[in-house]
């Protein structure tokens, strides 16, 4: 059974999609979707040999040969033109790594109309990439599982611009402010406050002052939202 996190990611993959799941590890996401008859074809991309072998084992054991294919490749290099991939999922990594995979493989996204991205941290890197590259955010979700908080961003083609607060907190999440969103940022605000309290005890210096100023700005943004 898929984790709640991957179930949430799966819920944004359109019916009959041709899906490339990049950094697929065990290929659980494409394998489940294929077993449920929800995708036409799945590609499980992995850069590391161990996870690639796990992906092959999952596919074989589930009898999905021909329906889901594991490929050993760096990022979007797993996608070939003839695949007709229309949806890319990248889950379980940091936002900056996801953004750099998208940036490095831009030319492989020609036929792709939807990106389903699940950063563990720093979703801001993905929102900035989207705004710079002609994608916009059509859905955002935040969820907690095993005491960790995850965000899911769904991108489609179309330009948009986001201000600083939208980039950091998410244009949709900051509008809806679900319970888990409040929890995440209250937690973040509390740890910033703790650091600020500790900084106060350090002897003054221009470096300290600059850091304090930056942290105050950051905390101020959270309190504003």
Q: What residues line the site for ligand SAM (CB under 6 A)?
A: 6, 22-25, 45-48, 51, 74-75, 91-93, 101
Residue with token string 């936002």: 95
Q: Compute the least distance from the CB of residue 155 to ligand SAM, in Å.
A: 17
| CA atoms of 196 and 193, how far apart (whole Å) | 5
Residues 166-199 as b/e (b if ≥16 CB within 10 A, e otherwise) read bbbbbbbbbeeeeebbeebbeeebeebeeeeeee
CB 75 → ligand SAM: shortest distance, Å?
4
- HEC profile of 68-127: EEEEECCHHHHCCHHHCCCEEEEEEECHHHHHHHHHHCHHHHCCCCEEEEEECCCCHHHH
Tell the smallest beta-carbon distance from residue 72 to ligand SAM (Å).
9
Which CB, 62 or 199, lies closer to ligand SAM?
62
Q: Tell me how far, at minimum, the Cβ of 5 lies from ligand SAM, in Å.
A: 7
**Distance in Å, CB of 71 to ligand SAM, minimum:** 9
Closer to ligand SAM by Cβ: residue 43 or 219: 43
Which is nearer to ligand SAM, 74 or 86 (by Cβ)?
74
> CB–CB of 101/75 below 8 Å?
yes
Residue 101 vs 126, nearer CB to ligand SAM:
101
Q: Report H helices in 147-178.
A: 164-169, 173-176
Q: Nearer Cβ to ligand SAM, position 108 or 162? A: 108
């Amino acid at each position: 059974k898929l984790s709640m996190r991957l179930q949430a990611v799966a819920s944004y993959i359109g019916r009959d999609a041709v899906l490339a799941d990049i950094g697929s590890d065990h290929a659980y996401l494409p394998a489940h979707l294929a077993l449920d008859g929800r995708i036409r074809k799945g590609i499980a991309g992995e850069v590391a040999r161990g996870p690639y072998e796990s992906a092959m084992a999952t596919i074989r054991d589930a009898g999905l040969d021909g329906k889901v294919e594991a490929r050993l490749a760096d990022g979007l290099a797993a996608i070939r033109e003839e695949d007709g991939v229309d949806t890319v999922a990248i889950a379980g990594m940091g936002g900056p790594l996801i953004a750099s995979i998208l940036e490095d493989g831009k030319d492989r996204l020609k036929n792709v109309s939807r990106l389903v991205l699940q950063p563990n941290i720093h979703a801001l890197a993905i929102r900035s990439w989207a705004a710079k590259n002609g994608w916009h955010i059509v859905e955002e979700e935040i969820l907690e599982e095993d005491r960790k908080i995850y965000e899911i961003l769904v991108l489609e083609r179309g330009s948009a611009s986001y201000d600083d607060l939208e980039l950091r907190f998410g244009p949709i999440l900051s509008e809806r402010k679900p319970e888990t969103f409040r929890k995440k940022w209250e937690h973040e605000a509390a740890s910033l406050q703790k650091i600020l309290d500790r900084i106060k005890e350090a002897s003054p210096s221009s470096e300290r002052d600059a850091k304090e100023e930056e942290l105050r700005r950051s905390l101020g943004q959270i309190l504003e939202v």
